[in-house]
Structure 1
Amino acid sequence: MGGFDARHVSPLPATRTRGARLIEAFSPKLGRRVTLHDHLAFSQWVRLEADPSVIDLCERPARSAPPQSCLIDFWVQRPGGAQLIVLESRCDIALSVGAEPVEQVALAEIAAAGQWIANWARMLPVVNATRTLRPAALAQAMLKRVSQPRSLASLEREVSSGDPAIVRGTVFDLLRQGLLRAPSLHVQPLSHHTLVEPAPGHVPEPAR
């Protein structure tokens, strides 16, 4: 598998056992639908979509070399390079996949991120549903207004767009891009009281 580059291939088909789940979702990073065949893969996909450092990704990009022939869960491109991701229990981590480094994600790690995953599983559909409705100026206005921690409710009241969902979609997309942050999403359910704040290193211009 030397020279494999998941950016130039479509996801491999995965044989779905009888009774197994089929989970479909729209990927904001890819601009297309993804098909996942269990909740573990769905949970890891949510984590990748919500990670601003992930530039590109591909589900089921390839199989490892025989004799194991393990289906790789994801290929991921970050600023520092590309890697392949295999979820724990899929197959032995010592598999042959060419030059790309392989990361094995422990099931305990996914379980520990349960609240974060549950929140983003609610937020990504809002990002998708509003993606063609959000004015570019609204994102810039939102960044200017969030110079200190602000609740979602206060932003929805303050920013008049005619539809609170568009405000939420804008905030969620800025979180997804890493321009805003909401640390409480790791430990608390998303609500109107959720606080968002500037991301480290991002200094918003003052609101006018």
Structure 2
Amino acid sequence: MYSPIKKVKNEMGRNRFFVFSRRLNREVRLYNSLQYDHWVLTESDISVMSYCERPLKINIPIAGKVVETVFDMWIKSESEEKFVFIRYSYEIDPDNKRSSEQAIEEMYAQKIWCAENNKTHCVLTEENIRYNPTIIANKKTLIPFFTPLSDIKPEVYELIYRSALNGPMTVRDLEKSIQSKNHPVIIRNSIFALILHGILTFNQDQDLLCGLTEVKLNV
């Protein structure tokens, strides 16, 4: 398990994202919009068991000098554990005039350390993270509604599940079909939580989630 390494310089300013993770129950600090979008995908991925931003600083000798670098994210899922390096593609493309020598050196330093320590290293750019803006938008909508399945009221879960057995319907129609003494906000929040947990599903690749979005049981 890791704890975030604090970034002393440039802690405040433009393009900073200080967000609250309901999964980790703490604040997460991100230092550009690409890191933020990656966090959105990570926070909303139920297969992720734990993660940590800026988890580890390393110093690796490369070409006669020592390169200091901090991993952008450590992620532990059910199937693997990996360290993540996040940069815009132009930064690590040697053929691009806007490439960053420092970014390239840090990338290789991390690769070397991971190879020596038998760790998985993952390089992500905007091409990997932002391949579908609709998915990211939907994840941003869903994140505030995360709650463990065990915290969803059993009677509400049962009502939603039984109504969804009738086939695909819009979120609004699903809400209307449920006869409950619970407040409508609790019903809507529970529906969104069940989408996050994969119990309910919708065409998240193409449709923006709202009251008119068609959802169904994920069977």
Same structural fold, with TM-score higher than 0.5 when normalized by the shorter chain: yes
Tell me which amino acid in the other structure corresponds to 1:101.
T
CA–CA separation in structure 1 for the residues paired with 2:133 and 2:32: 15
Structure number with bigger Rg: 2
Tell me which amino acid in the other structure corresponds to 1:119.
N
Runs of 4 or more off by more than 6 Å in structure 1? none
Instruction: Number of aligned residue pairs: give it.
Output: 191
2:157 corresponding residue in structure 1:
139
Find 1:14's aligned residue among 3, 7, 15. Answer: 7
> Once the 2 structures are TM-superposed, how far is the Cα of residue 11 of structure 1 from its aligned partner?
1.0
Contact 2:163 2:177 in 1 (8 A): no
Q: 1:191 to 1:75 in 2, by over 3 A?
A: same
Q: Deviations over 1:84-130 (max 9, x none)?
A: 111134734432243220111121122223211122212222447xx
2:98 corresponding residue in structure 1:
none
What secondary structure sits across from 2:68 in the alignment? coil
Scaled by the length of structure 1, the TM-score of the pair is 0.78
Matches within 5 A, 1:68-107: 68-89=67-88, 91-92=103-104, 93-94=107-108, 95=110, 96-97=113-114, 98-107=117-126
CA–CA separation in structure 2 for the residues paired with 1:149 and 1:80: 31
CA–CA separation in structure 2 for the residues paired with 1:154 and 1:16: 50
2:175 corresponding residue in structure 1:
156
CA–CA separation in structure 2 for the residues paired with 1:117 and 1:24: 18
> Once the 2 structures are TM-superposed, how far is the Cα of residue 75 of structure 1 from its aligned partner?
1.0
Q: 1:152 to 1:39 in 2, by over 3 A?
A: same
Q: Deviations over 1:11-50 (max 9, x none)?
A: 1112452633332222232222222222111111110122
1:37 corresponding residue in structure 2:
31
> Once the 2 structures are TM-superposed, how far is the Cα of residue 140 of structure 1 from its aligned partner?
3.4
CA–CA separation in structure 1 for the residues paired with 2:59 and 2:201: 40
2:190 corresponding residue in structure 1:
170
Contact 1:150 1:197 in 2 (8 A): yes
> Once the 2 structures are TM-superposed, how far is the Cα of residue 161 of structure 1 from its aligned partner?
4.9
Find 1:114's aligned residue among 127, 133, 141. Answer: 133
Root-mean-square deviation (CA, aligned residues, Å) is 2.7
Greater mean deviation of Cα atoms: 164-173 or 41-50: 164-173
Scaled by the length of structure 2, the TM-score of the pair is 0.75
CA–CA separation in structure 1 for the residues paired with 2:19 and 2:53: 12
2:95 corresponding residue in structure 1:
none
CA–CA separation in structure 2 for the residues paired with 1:140 and 1:55: 26
Contact 1:134 1:166 in 2 (8 A): no
1:203 corresponding residue in structure 2:
none
Q: Deviations over 1:48-74 (max 9, x none)?
A: 122222121111111243333222111
Greater mean deviation of Cα atoms: 34-43 or 22-31: 22-31
